[in-house]
């Protein structure tokens, strides 16, 4: 290593520690046999993890979050594909303005979106708050991410492939199904995963829009008031950490395998 880069190296190491050390405390204390979060450690235990499985409320919240995230990711990805296909088509007028409007939820504070959606639901449309309202809020939030991912994917690929498909006798729909979709698949997977994670840990909108059934972030927040429940939350956090690591690895594996071999057979 050159001498000049030494301070930078130290900075980089410190930065990585700063980023990941707090997260590493989570699994560490989740195996610690004590309710108090403090050093020295008290001994190894799995009882917090067992407690997780026994905690019906927590499992319900977790299930709610999964369902909402899966639905929101699926819906926003579909909208993202169609929207991106439309705005990357060269004939569309006002495409730029449409993109701007769709991207707005990225910059508008979610608290504003949350309040306005709450007002809309309760006072204008008069519908009960439920997981549905949370899901709708999350779709609104996830569509910009899906659009961004799908637009960059569709802009990158060659129009003449679609023309060739038309030329070879396929209808517009057949072309979309046999050429556009398979080629956009890596983008679709990326958009789905991104939307899924955005929805899974979203707090503000869920807080405003949830009815009796809570999602995981809200449940966790409500548990922080009880010190005795803290180790449960730690165990849960560790599981989520592991889950998201696996998700990222899976996404990367998919990307590396690429579209070439993975998805051609069934098409």
Partner 1 sequence: MVLELERPMISLRHVSRHYGPIRAVDDVTLDIAAGEFFSLLGPSGCGKTTLLRMLGGFDAPTFGEVFIDGKSMAGVPANRRPTNMVFQNYALFPHLSIRENVGYGLLNRKMTKAAVADRVAQALEMIRLGHLADRWPHQLSGGQRQRVALARALVCEPKVLLLDEPLGALDKKLRAEMQSELRRIQRAVGITFVLVTHDQEEALTLSDRIAIMSAGRPLQIGDPRSLYEAPENRAVAEFIGEMNFFRAEVQAVRPEGTSVRVDGLGDLTVATRGTVAAGSAVTLAMRPEKIVLSWERPPHTDGMIEGRVVSETYLGDRCQYGVAVANHAAPIRVVTQNNMPGAGRQQDRPVWLDYPREALLLLTM
Instruction: Give the residues lining the site for partner 1 (CB under 8 A).
Output: 158, 160-161, 163-171, 174, 178-179, 182-183, 259-260, 263-264, 267
Q: For the CB of residue 213, give the shortest distance to partner 1 in the complex, in Å.
A: 42
Q: For the CB of residue 161, give the shortest distance to partner 1 in the complex, in Å.
A: 5
Q: In this complex, which beta carbon is closest to partner 1, that of residue 4 or of residue 266?
A: 266
Q: In this complex, which beta carbon is closest to partner 1, that of residue 112 or of residue 267?
A: 267
Helices (DSSP H) in 94-229: which residue ranges? 95-107, 110-119, 131-155, 159-167, 172-175, 181-200, 204-209, 216-223
Q: In this complex, which beta carbon is closest to partner 1, that of residue 188 or of residue 220?
A: 188
Quickly count: other Cβ atoms within 10 Å of residue 62's Cβ.
20
Cα of first residue to Cα of last residue in the chain, in angstroms, is 50
Supply angle C-alpha 67, 19, 152, rounded to 5. 55
CA distances from 234 to 20, 25, 57, 183, 242 (A): 15, 9, 16, 41, 12
Q: In this complex, which beta carbon is closest to partner 1, that of residue 212 or of residue 261?
A: 261
Q: For the CB of residue 18, give the shortest distance to partner 1 in the complex, in Å.
A: 42
Q: What interhelical angle do 131-155 and 56-88 show, nearest 10?
A: 40
Q: In this complex, which beta carbon is closest to partner 1, that of residue 174 or of residue 227?
A: 174
Residue 264, SS3?
Answer: coil
Q: For the CB of residue 2, give the shortest distance to partner 1 in the complex, in Å.
A: 39
Q: For the CB of residue 166, give the shortest distance to partner 1 in the complex, in Å.
A: 4
């Amino acid at each position: 290593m050159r001498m000049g880069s030494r301070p930078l190296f130290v900075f980089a190491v410190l930065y990585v520690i700063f980023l990941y050390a707090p997260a590493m405390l989570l699994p560490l204390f989740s195996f610690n046999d004590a309710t108090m979060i403090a050093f020295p450690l008290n001994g190894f235990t799995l009882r917090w993890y067992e407690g997780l499985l026994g905690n019906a409320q927590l499992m319900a919240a977790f299930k709610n979050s999964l369902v909402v995230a899966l639905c929101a990711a699926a819906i926003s990805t579909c909208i993202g594909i169609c929207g991106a296909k439309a705005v990357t088509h060269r004939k569309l007028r006002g495409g730029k303005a449409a993109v701007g409007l769709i991207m707005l939820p990225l910059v508008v504070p979610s608290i504003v979106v949350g309040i306005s959606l709450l007002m809309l639901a309760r006072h204008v449309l008069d519908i009960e708050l439920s997981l549905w309202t949370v899901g709708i809020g999350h779709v609104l939030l996830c569509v910009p991410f899906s659009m961004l991912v799908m637009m960059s994917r569709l802009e990158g690929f060659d129009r003449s492939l679609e023309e060739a498909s038309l030329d070879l006798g396929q209808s517009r729909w057949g072309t979309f199904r046999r050429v556009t979709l398979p080629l956009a698949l890596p983008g679709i997977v990326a958009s789905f995963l991104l939307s899924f994670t955005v929805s899974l840990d979203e707090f503000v909108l869920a807080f405003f829009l949830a009815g009796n059934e809570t999602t995981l972030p809200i449940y966790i927040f409500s548990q922080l008031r009880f010190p005795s429940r803290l180790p449960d939350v730690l165990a849960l956090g560790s599981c989520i950490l592991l889950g998201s690591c696996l998700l990222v690895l899976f996404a990367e594996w998919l990307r590396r395998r690429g579209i070439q071999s993975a998805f051609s057979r069934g098409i």
